C-alpha cells in the first residue's frame, strides 16, 4: 500500500501556499487514496482518470471521469497539477502537457514522478499476481530488457518450465500486447517536456541500482545488454527507471 500522506506532502513541497491552492490530481487511484491525502492540505482538489469512481470522504475533494488530454476544465483553473506513478500509462504525452498548460493558472506548477519508463530494464511494468497481494516487478521473473531485446516466442521459451503454460502465455501477452504502458522511452519524454509550453524548473532521472543488480544476478553483465540495445535501437538512456518533473506555466 502506498504511503499517500507522505507522497502528497512531497508533491506539495514546492507549492508556495498549498492551503489556498486549487489542485488537479491526474490519474486518481481507484480508492481515492491520493485525493484523500491531498484534501486536508489544500483548498480544493479535483481528481481525474479515464476509469474509476473512488469514494472520497472530504468536502473539498471531487473526482471526474475524463482524459487529461482533453478536459472540460476552464482555462487557468488550477494553481497546481500533480500526479504520481501515472505518466508511464498516459498515451499522448504532448497533448497531455498542452492541456495541463491550458488549465494551470499563470505561474502554476505541474509536479510529477513516474516510472518505470519503457526503456529501462523492467519497463514492461509486469505485475505478478499472488493470492495474498500483487508483487511488483519482482526479479527474476523476466530477463533484463526482454521487452526490448527478445521476440515473444523467445520469451515464451524462457518461461517454459518456470510457470504454468497459461501463466507464461499471460505474461508474454502482457509484455508485448498490453496497452497499459505507453512505450515511451526516457529520451523521448525529455524531448517532449523540453518542447512543451511549460518551463522546466527541475527534471531528474533516477536509476534503481538495487533492482538492476537483482535482475542481472546470474546473467550477462550490464554492459552486454547496453551494447545490444544501442545496436538494435540506437544510443539512448536505458538505465533511468523513473523521472521526476517540476514544470511551471509562465506568467
- pLDDT at position 128 over 70: no
Q: What is the pLDDT of residue 161?
A: 85
Q: Residue 145: which region, alpha, beta or left (left: phi > 0; alpha: psi -120 to 50)?
A: left
Q: What is the pLDDT of residue 162?
A: 82
- Look up the pTM and report it: 0.92
Q: What is the pLDDT of residue 26?
A: 98
Average pLDDT value for residue range 98-111:
98
Do 85 and 114 meet the contact criterion of CB atoms below 8 Å apart?
Answer: yes
Q: What is the pLDDT of residue 170?
A: 87
Q: CB under 8 Å to 220, separation ≥6 — which residues? A: none
* 3 state SS of 185: coil
Q: What is the pLDDT of residue 54?
A: 87
Q: Tens digit of pLDDT for each residue in 141-192? A: 789 999 999 999 999 999 998 888 888 898 899 999 999 899 999 999 999 9
* Structural domains of the chain, ranges and CATH numbers in brackets: 4-114 (3.40.50.150), 117-181+207-240 (no CATH)
Average pLDDT value for residue range 73-100:
97
- pLDDT at position 133 over 50: no
Q: What is the pLDDT of residue 136?
A: 45
Q: What is the pLDDT of residue 27?
A: 96
Q: Tens digit of pLDDT for each residue in 198-231? A: 999 999 999 999 999 999 999 999 999 999 999 9
Q: What is the pLDDT of residue 138?
A: 54
For residues 216 and 221, what is the distance between their CA atoms, to the nearest angstrom? 7
Q: How far is CA 150 from CA 16, 30, 93, 225, in A?
A: 47, 33, 26, 11
For residues 139 and 134, what is the distance between their CA atoms, to the nearest angstrom? 14
Amino acid at each position: 500500500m502506498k504511503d499517500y500522506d507522505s507522497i502528497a506532502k512531497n508533491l506539495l513541497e514546492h507549492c508556495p501556499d498549498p492551503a489556498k491552492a486549487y489542485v488537479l490530481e491526474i490519474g486518481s487511484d481507484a480508492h481515492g487514496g491520493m485525493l484523500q491525502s491531498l484534501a486536508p492540505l489544500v483548498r480544493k482538489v479535483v481528481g481525474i482518470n479515464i476509469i474509476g469512481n473512488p469514494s472520497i470522504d472530504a468536502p473539498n475533494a471531487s473526482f471526474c471521469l475524463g482524459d487529461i488530454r482533453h478536459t472540460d476544465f476552464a482555462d487557468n483553473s488550477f494553481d497546481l497539477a500533480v500526479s504520481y506513478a501515472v505518466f508511464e500509462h498516459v498515451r499522448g504525452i504532448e497533448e497531455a502537457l498542452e492541456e495541463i498548460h491550458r488549465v494551470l493558472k499563470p505561474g502554476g506548477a505541474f509536479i510529477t514522478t513516474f516510472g518505470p519508463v519503457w526503456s529501462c530494464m523492467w519497463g514492461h511494468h509486469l505485475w505478478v499476481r499472488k493470492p495474498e497481494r500483487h508483487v511488483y516487478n519482482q526479479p527474476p521473473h523476466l530477463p533484463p530488457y526482454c521487452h526490448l531485446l527478445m521476440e515473444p516466442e523467445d520469451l515464451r521459451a524462457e518461461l517454459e518450465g518456470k510457470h504454468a503454460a497459461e501463466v507464461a502465455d499471460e505474461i508474454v501477452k502482457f509484455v508485448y500486447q498490453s496497452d497499459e504502458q505507453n512505450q515511451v522511452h526516457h529520451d523521448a519524454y525529455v524531448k517532449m517536456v523540453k518542447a512543451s509550453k511549460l518551463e522546466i524548473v527541475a527534471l531528474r532521472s533516477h536509476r534503481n541500482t538495487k533492482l538492476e543488480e537483482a535482475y542481472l544476478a546470474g546473467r550477462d553483465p550490464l554492459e552486454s545488454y547496453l551494447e545490444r540495445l544501442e545496436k538494435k535501437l540506437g544510443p539512448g538512456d536505458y538505465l533511468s527507471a523513473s523521472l521526476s518533473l517540476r514544470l511551471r506555466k509562465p506568467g
